[in-house]
Amino acid sequence: MDATPVQTAERDDAGMTLHFRRNYLAHGIDGGLFMGGLAFVDSQTVLPRMVESLGGPNWVIALTPVLMMVGMMGPQILVAHRIERLARMKPLLLVTGVLQRLPYLAAGLVLLLPGEALPAAALVAIVAAPLLSGLSGGISAAAWQELVAKTIPGRRLSSLWAVRLMISALIGILAGWVVTRVLAAFPGTEGYGILHLLVFAFLAVSFAVFTLIRETAIPPKRSDDRAAWIAFVRSVPGAIRADRRLALWLATRILLTGIFILVPFLGIHALHVLQRPDSYLGNLIVPQMVGVVVGNFVGGYLGDRWGGKLVMALSHIGFVALSAWAALGTGEWGFTAIFFLLGLSFALGNVGTPTLGLEIAPVEKRVAYIAITGFFTLAGFLSASLASSLIRNRTEAFVWLAVPAGAMVAASLCLLMLIREPRGRQPAVALRPGA
């Protein structure tokens, strides 16, 4: 006899409680090592300069901070209806987890071997690594978020994101020191190759930790609808029209990507203004990661206590201030403060955004809501990168990047304030094929 929804929920809760400590630590350490490892080729600070030094055009530089996220979000809406059919999420995640890490090993080897003689191959390797890694992760991104929701109670999500980011920030501070010394001793593709291999080493250890997670045996009860992909896509407009909070959430996420008009050229701008070598990027990573540490402490506490919306709002305010300051920053201490604020704002956003996003989604359609959010956010990322490239091609005056970035984030904050805090409540709307 099949278990009733009540019995299923009780067994899920029991499994979540039994393995909570193990899963909480494994999720936290895995994510911390993964994100911390990526700091050695930080997509906001180091990677854009790598691309520029190898002759990459402005449109590629503009894409570098979002390459992994573009890859991550692209496949989600294509596979969401299949993810919903899975009884267990971890087996898929183990396969995609391997594929997600291998591009950094390949990039490191290409950069160390023929990279100096073949700069075009080196550029392709640098750009392909985050994109391919993101695509591999994007296939199972909704499954990963579902695994988190099945293994961690909602009231502990904010602190979990904070733990992950705290570990990554501490590794990032080390990464800043390492980047400075590696690029000073091995400038060019050799140094870039060493940094990519360091990324792979941390990602490999994170995968070993991920294997320790215990998934609850039975997933939450979902709708019995098992529609084809086209039916799922057709249901999206109706779901957005019917759920005002979802519509506001999507608009908020799209406008928030405006900060990526500014971010790709922020590190390059600092080097040009200060007239420093590439190795100085490590000096900028350190205050950025200190900002991440502070943001994690603040975001984790406030998020667990009052929910993700407040933490997201603080992140927005930080981005608006950053945009205004970046247009004026000219001194070493000014850029140190700017990169601290960059890390602080992203940390607050990385705590508040997934917390609010998971709480907005109905349990039975959580995978679908995640996929829809990813699709619309992807459109925002690509639009912001295109705008950044077009502006940079016309002028190198940084103010023309900072003003539209700050304006879009300010508009996003206004819409965020209209979203009702969902903690303790569940929206009533569910996706229906053909809606």
Q: Report pLDDT for 235.
A: 67
* 78-92, 276-290, 416-430: range with lowest mean pLDDT: 416-430
- The average pLDDT across 335-341 equals 93
Of 115, 415, 138, the C-alpha closest to 249 is 415
Task: Give the CATH fold of the 5-416 domain.
Answer: Growth Hormone; Chain: A; (1.20.1250)
d(CA 109, CA 117): 13
Q: Confidence band (pLDDT; 50, 70, 90) for 15?
A: low
Q: Report pLDDT for 256.
A: 95
Contact 58, 401 (CB under 8 A): no
Percent of the chain surpassing pLDDT 70? 84
Q: Report pLDDT for 62.
A: 92
Q: Report pLDDT for 350.
A: 83
Q: Report pLDDT for 151.
A: 85
Q: Report pLDDT for 81.
A: 67
* 59-68, 79-88, 317-326: range with lowest mean pLDDT: 79-88
- The average pLDDT across 84-99 equals 87
CB-count exposure of residue 395 (10 Å: 0-12, 13-18, 19+): exposed
Q: Confidence band (pLDDT; 50, 70, 90) for 369?
A: confident
* 123-132, 192-201, 416-425: range with lowest mean pLDDT: 416-425
Q: Cβ of 305: how many Cβ atoms within 10 Å?
A: 11
Q: Report pLDDT for 291.
A: 92
C-alpha distances out from residue 50 to 64, 115, 187, 343, Å? 10, 12, 11, 20
* 121-130, 159-168, 172-181, 412-421: range with lowest mean pLDDT: 159-168
d(CA 374, CA 367): 11
Average pLDDT, the chain: 83
* DSSP character string of 403-432: HHHHHHHHHHHHHHTTSPP-TT--------
- The average pLDDT across 323-347 equals 89
* DSSP character string of 3-31: PPHHHHHHHHHHHHHHTHHHHHHHHHHHH
Is the per-residue pLDDT at 221 higher than 50?
no
CB-count exposure of residue 434 (10 Å: 0-12, 13-18, 19+): exposed
Q: Confidence band (pLDDT; 50, 70, 90) for 21?
A: confident
* 62-71, 114-123, 215-224, 339-348: range with lowest mean pLDDT: 215-224
Percent of the chain surpassing pLDDT 90? 41
d(CA 73, CA 67): 10
For residue 119, the surrounding DSSP H or E stretch is helix 119-139
Q: Report pLDDT for 420.
A: 81
Q: Report pLDDT for 143.
A: 85
Q: Report pLDDT for 181.
A: 92
- The average pLDDT across 127-155 equals 86
Handedness of CA 255, 259, 260, 262 (dihedral sign): positive
Contact 384, 257 (CB under 8 A): yes
Q: Confidence band (pLDDT; 50, 70, 90) for 171?
A: very high
Q: Confidence band (pLDDT; 50, 70, 90) for 2?
A: very low
Query: What residue spans define the domains of the chain?
Result: 5-416
d(CA 177, CA 291): 16
Q: Report pLDDT for 178.
A: 93
Contact 12, 218 (CB under 8 A): yes
Structure tokens at 213: 């997670």
Alpha helix (H) residue ranges in 275-365 = 281-306, 308-326, 332-360
Helix (H, G, I), strand (E, B) or coil at 153: coil
Q: What is the pLDDT of residues 378-394, one digit of tens each?
A: 889 999 999 999 999 99
Q: Report pLDDT for 164.
A: 86
SS3 helix, strand, coil % of the chain, rounded to 5?
Answer: 80, 0, 20
- The average pLDDT across 386-407 equals 93
d(CA 341, CA 326): 10
pTM: 0.77
Q: Confidence band (pLDDT; 50, 70, 90) for 161?
A: confident
- The average pLDDT across 343-354 equals 88
